Structure 1
Amino acid sequence: MKGIECIELRKFITEYKQKNEKNEFKPVAVGKYGIRTRESIYSKELAKDYSKNKIIFKNTLTVGMGSRQIDIGILTDDVIYSVSPAYHTYKISGINADYLRYCLMCRNEDMFKRFVKRGSRQGKSIDLKRWLEYEIPVYDVCNQEKIVLKLNKVTNVISMRKQQLQKLDELIQARFVEMFGDPIINPFNWEKKRFDSICENLDSRRKPISSGDRVEGIYPYYGASGIVDYVEDYIFDEDILLVSEDGANLLMRSTPIAFSVSGKVWVNNHAHVVKFDEMSLQKYVEIYFSLIDISENITGSAQPKLNQAKLNAMMIPIPEKALLEQYCEFLKQIYKSKLVIKNLLQIYKHQIQM
């Protein structure tokens, strides 16, 4: 395409600060996946007064600081929401808003490396002055629309593939209940055993590293809900199960609270680390945790916590070994299917690069 020009972001966005003073517009969250309703993330309402929030509306850009990316949300629907006052809000003009969204989305990693500085949330903040000088490729209006139409089609395919992954996760849980019964009712009367009798706790080997002291590397650095960062060294090199120790997700369950990890990794003190003799038992327990309510084992209100004593004392119904191995084989086939879909997702996401 012809007629491309590299232009600074400041030419297309102007910051504004309009408050939700009458508390009339419902709040949304802005993160890795753009703008999302809070009920799609959290299982309960966190507050009732959002009068200090900022208002966002059609053709506005919202920017915040994520753990590993710049949180960007562009609203193109003719609706009005409110966002946390911690976000920066901008009006968009002189450029197709969807085109701008794709531009920023595919350059997020580059912008994160260039403009993130040590500061506020999770030890990082955005150098907004320099970020506004960031140059993006800009085509004429007609070509912007053509690019958006093409990328919308790719985005729709990506959405369908993600739905396939979700259905496979649902199949994993459905097969669990079919083979072992409802984990709460335990209709097959499987023998119950204390959690600490079926695995070895490795919490003593965990080592937290503050964000300012981490040295970037190739090894995943895990926290309560998954990978937080990548560091230059590792402390585990084996098959382990991580169980969230603290954080709101223990109650809200927006991400798994138990997840298997293999290979060279570093784990901080926000996730319990346990090791099983048999992978089949580890996978069973991982899925078991996704199907039960552990709220009665959680302590703390401001900061929910599943301490080691509470975790160790949990009684887990344990099916016979042959069934566990059969289920583990089923999981292997499902994981193969998920890997194929994830590889396709990477191909599609690569097509979005501009």
Structure 2
Amino acid sequence: MKVRLGDYIQEYSVRNRNCEDIPVYSVTNTQGFCRDYFDKEVASKDKSTYKIVPKGCFAYNPSRINVGSVDWQRNEEKVIVSPLYNVFAVSEKLERQYLYYYLKSDITLQYIKTVATGSVRDNLKLSMLYEYKINLPDINMQKAIANKLDMIQNIMCQKKHKLVLLNDLIKARFIEMFGNISRDCYLKIADVCSIITDGTHQPPKFVQEGIPFIFVSNLANDEITYRTEKFITQENYDELIKRTPIEIGDVLLTTVGSYGHSAVVKTDKPFLFQRHIAYLKPKRELINSDYLRGALLAADAQQQIEEKVKGIAQKTLNLSEIKKIIIPLPPLQKQDEFAFFVAQVDKSKAAVQKSLDEMQLLFNSLMQEYFG
């Protein structure tokens, strides 16, 4: 049964007029309600205009809901969010978690793109959301659907956590093998790489299908993922690849936003990448690619990266600073020994990732079945 969403939700617009000491939250497309974004920014600001979100209410940024930045507040009795946010309460006839998944579905995002307005970003007014028609089975069916999606999400979270633990195992092995190397055996990145540059500065001509064009987000887990919505033509690729002659064994390093993530090119699959990713071509006679990646992800190099990033609004790791990063350089035999360990762990990671991808496909399929 299709119903008008506005008949089941109602705006909740209460300001923090008394400047109560209430936790400040934001809503992101990946974390939902979270504190990390605003804690530092609003520490000295007037919070009296911030909107209160009681437990159980939804909130979204009108210019970010088009990418799924919407959630219901389940963390504390009440929190406050930016005055820009829209906040609404939900009828008891509408299961919150069911609505949460509905608002994150492809069909809802498509609706938002169609009706939202705004000169810079799509801007979804609450009045527009009121007019959205949704499928509304009985409350027990809503709960069953939400529970099934929750179960799959929980399994995926467990698998993602396992991938994190496997990456931590590699980092621990690096410290075990190379943590006590004398500073006399350290070299600059510039000394162990024949090329240090960044991705294309020329705006690519994106097409529906073709050669993948990857972004910083494709290296978020210190591995290269080629799943992307952006592609370029073979002709465009042949023109732009001259700047970065990618080969198996080359290393990529993110430099803007989520900086400091590193990955090794493991396949000859053609791809291109944005300028916010640095391209390092190791001197194979000096350094093993997997060892270089491990060194860049080690605590010592990450601390150097933190010290070298510049900028306030958008922190950036410049190529000139990457060249100055120093790392230990043990004999190649020891590097190869570490690389062999990484290869064994990578097999476990591949199995977990394959299972995770299968669960993601199942989740997407169910989202389409329930809300498509």
Q: TM-score range by the shorter chain?
A: 0.7 to 0.9
Q: Deviations over 1:232-279 (max 9, x none)?
A: 3144453443323333x45xxxxx533335543332222222222449
Matched to 1:231, the amino acid is K
Q: Where does the alignment leave 5 or more consecutive residues of structure 1 unmatched?
A: 251-255
Q: Given the superposition, is the C-alpha separation of residues 126 and 348 from structure 1 closer, same or farther in structure 2, using an over 3 Å criterion?
A: farther
Q: Does 1:242 align with 2:252?
A: yes
How far apart are residue 222 of structure 1 and its match? Answer: 1.4
Moved more, 228-237 or 15-24: 228-237
* Equivalences, count: 333
Match of 2:142 among 141, 144, 149: 144
- CA spacing shift, 1:116–1:164, aligned 2, 3 Å: same
Quickly say closer, same or farther: Cα 1:333–1:23, change in 2 above 3 A: farther
| Cα distance in 2 for residues equivalent to 1:209 and 1:119 | 26
Within-5 A mapping of 1:251-270: 256-261=260-265, 263-270=269-276
Residue 350 of structure 2 is matched in structure 1 by 339
State whether structure 2 residue 308 is matched by structure 1 residue 312.
no
- Aligned residues of 1:238 and 1:264 also touching (Cα < 8 A): no
Inter-CA distance 78–168: structure 2 relative to 1 (3 Å threshold): same
CA contact (8 A) 2:194 2:281 kept: yes
C-alpha contact (below 8 Å) 2:156/2:356 kept by paired residues: yes
The structure whose residues are more often strand, as a share, is 1
Contact 1:207 1:269 survives alignment (8 Å)? yes
TM-score, normalised to structure 2, is 0.75
In structure 2, what residue type is equivalent to 1:330? F
Q: Distance in 1 between matches of 2:208 and 2:219?
A: 17
The structural deviation recorded for 1:220 is 3.1
Distance 1:317 1:305 in 2: 24
SS of the residue 2:69 aligns to: strand
Letter of the aligned partner of 2:247 in structure 1? E
1:324 counterpart SS class: helix
Provide the rounded CA distance (Å) in 2 between the counterparts of 1:148 and 1:188.
Answer: 55
- Compute the TM-score of the two structures, normalised by the length of structure 1: 0.78
Per mean C-alpha deviation after superposition, the further-off stretch among 318-327 and 149-158 is: 149-158
Structure 2 distance, partners of 1:238, 1:110, is 39
1:348 equivalent among 344, 359, 364: 359
Match of 2:213 among 207, 211, 220: 220
Superposed, 1:203-214 pairs within 5 Å as: 203=197, 206-207=200-201, 209=203, 214=206
What are the equivalent positions in structure 2 for 1:152-301 lying under 5 Å apart?
152-181=150-179, 186-188=180-182, 191-201=185-195, 203=197, 206-207=200-201, 209=203, 214-217=206-209, 219-223=212-216, 226=219, 230-233=229-232, 234=237, 235-236=240-241, 237-239=246-248, 240-247=250-257, 249-250=258-259, 256-261=260-265, 263-278=269-284, 281-290=288-297, 291-292=299-300, 293-294=303-304, 295-301=306-312
Q: 1:19 to 1:301 in 2, by over 3 A?
A: same
CA deviation after TM superposition for structure 1 residue 20, in Å? 3.2
Are the aligned partners of 2:251 and 2:289 in contact in 1 as well (CA < 8 Å)? yes
2:28 alignment partner AA: G
Structure 2 unaligned blocks of 5 or more: 221-226
Check 1:244–1:150 CA distance in 2 against 1; reply closer, same or farther (3 A cut). Answer: closer
Change over 3 Å in CA distance of 1:133–1:333 after alignment to 2: farther
Residue 313 of structure 1: SS of its match in structure 2? Answer: coil
Paired residue secondary structure (2:42): coil
Going from structure 1 to structure 2, the CA distance change for 1:217 and 1:72 (only over 3 Å counts) comes to farther
Task: Report if aligned partners of 1:16, 1:90 keep a CA contact under 8 Å in 2.
Answer: yes
Instruction: Give the letter for the 2:164 counterpart.
Output: Q
Query: Quick one: distance in 1 between partners of 2:338 and 2:164?
Result: 19
Partners of 1:284 and 1:62 in 2: CA distance: 45
Residue 96 of structure 1 and its aligned partner are, at CA, apart by 0.8
Partner of 1:253: none
